[in-house]
Chain A
Amino acid sequence: MELFDFQVITGSLPEFWRGLLMTLQLTGIALLCGFAGAVPLAVARVSKNRWVSGPVAAYTYFFRGTPMLVQLLLIYYGAGQWQWMQAAWEAGNPVWLLFREPFFCALLAFGLNTCAYTIEIIAGAMRNTPHGEVEAAKAMGMSRFKALQRIVLPSALRRMLPSYSNEVILMLQGSAIASAVTLVDITGAARNVYSRHFAPFEAFVFAGLVYLVLTFLLVGMFKYAEGRWLAHLAPRKATKRKEAA
């Protein structure tokens, strides 16, 4: 028996392609929604008012302290436990019916998870804003909101880039658990190929390579973004120092 048969891979390329699209949709939409939610919630997280920052802190504590797989199962399989949810399903309520869709549940779980991590990343960057900048904004007569909008957030969102690139990569890797709720992403496609051909190496090594390439692309994109928006924080080039001397 051969250990690596390339025909297994070439024969199932369309399946892997559909899996790739599923992975990209899941991670892309979850990251976008998570980020959009994280910006205002991070502002609430750094608030001095405990009634504002407390609930956000509780939310991030729960979602950062438990595995994403359990969160996904909790949402997808857990929703059906409630009588009112079942009643809403029978009545055909379009909103609650979404909780029967694995795609929606995966998006919700991934989105809530990445949002929690992103909140803490942005909040950390906001706390590290040099205090002189905030004082200068106050001295210029900016309101709290204006200072956030013009000074604190633009700088914090730049400085968060390196840690956020980590979170994006972890989200891509984390989305592999989508096959636990019957979705066929890259990993799901690999599992199908495995069970059809009993070819674990072909299926999982190829899937791993696809993820590896996606990761490289993401790393490259963030390198470019850091060069564009974080150039002022990059270490100076040695050649320039030579010229100065």
Chain B
Amino acid sequence: MDALIEYSPSLLGGAWVTLKVALLSLVLAVASGLLGAACKLSNLLPLRLWTMLYTTIVRGVPDLVMMLLVFYGGQLLLNEVIDYFEWEFIEINPFVAGVLTIGFIFGAYFTETFRGAFLSVSAGQLEAGRAYGMTSWQVFLRIMFPQMLRYALPGIGNNWLVLLKSTAIVSMIGLSDMTSLADQAGRSTHQPFTFYLAVCVLYLAMTAVSGWFLGRLTTRYNVGVREANV
């Protein structure tokens, strides 16, 4: 217990790193998810094929393999580019590789979530917006997006919880997140069980807080919707 208190600042610092990786990946994933959904719903066949390839590859390849490829392969590719343009050496750090990979992977899951949600907004709403003389961007921003979010929220919540847990693998490419800090602390104090259990508790705390926040969001975006009492 003393060891846990002694190392708690370091562990909490690691929790902050984990949270940063998760939140930045979430932003990237939502952006690529929106883009992917737009492509998947577009009339252009090449765009649809491209997103199909994207979602299939992400579903079929483990996140760790993709992360190792981005981390080691990305560096090699970057070195080639740097040599070609004779720039100064740039290093891909584990943080960037982690965020890019997790964002890329969950972008595919968000693509599916948003595609379904876009389809759920009734066409009459969009037509009404156009009838009022809104531009298509205004229709998207004022009518499509707020209503789409209501349908997408359960999926967003699920994806976020899975995303949060998958951040643990960034410790395997050397990022000092809470899992790898717990590993170090466990080795130096000979109490690995205590520290890994502490990491589990921190993850559970993060999921509990996100669950509360998602509940609030759901209430906010369901205002004015009547639900059947089952």
Contact = CB atoms under 8 A, between A and B. Distances in A.
B168 A69 contact: yes
A131 B56 CA distance: 38
B165 A73 contact: no
B190 interface: yes
Interface string A51-75: 0000000000110011111110110
B193 A79 contact: yes
A201 B62 contact: no
Interface string B158-185: 0000000111110110000001001100
B192 A77 contact: yes
A82 B193 contact: yes
A103 interface: no
B65 A190 contact: yes
- Which of the listed residues A65, A179, A180, A187 has the most CB atoms from chain B within 10 Å of its own CB? A65
A66 B204 contact: yes
B183 A73 contact: yes
A69 B168 CA distance: 7
B186 A67 contact: no
A191 interface: yes
A239 B60 CA distance: 33
B65 A211 contact: yes
A177 interface: yes
A211 B165 CA distance: 21
Contacts of B56: 212
A174 B68 contact: no
A74 B197 contact: yes
B64 interface: yes
Given A69-B171, A180-B172, A204-B72, A74 B196 contact: yes
A70 B200 contact: yes
Contacts of B134: none
Interface string B179-211: 100110010001111101101100110010000
A78 B192 CA distance: 5
B168 A176 contact: no
B197 A78 contact: yes
A201 B73 CA distance: 6
4 closest residue pairs by CB, A with B? A78-B193, A67-B168, A176-B62, A200-B72
7 contacts: A69-B179, A77-B183, A172-B62, A176-B62, A176-B64, A177-B169, A204-B66
Interface of A: 1, 3, 61-62, 65-71, 73-74, 77-82, 169, 172-177, 179-180, 187, 190-191, 194, 200-201, 204-205, 207-208, 211-212, 215-216
Interface of B: 56-57, 59-66, 68-69, 72-73, 75-77, 80, 165-169, 171-172, 179, 182-183, 186, 190-194, 196-197, 199-200, 203-204, 207
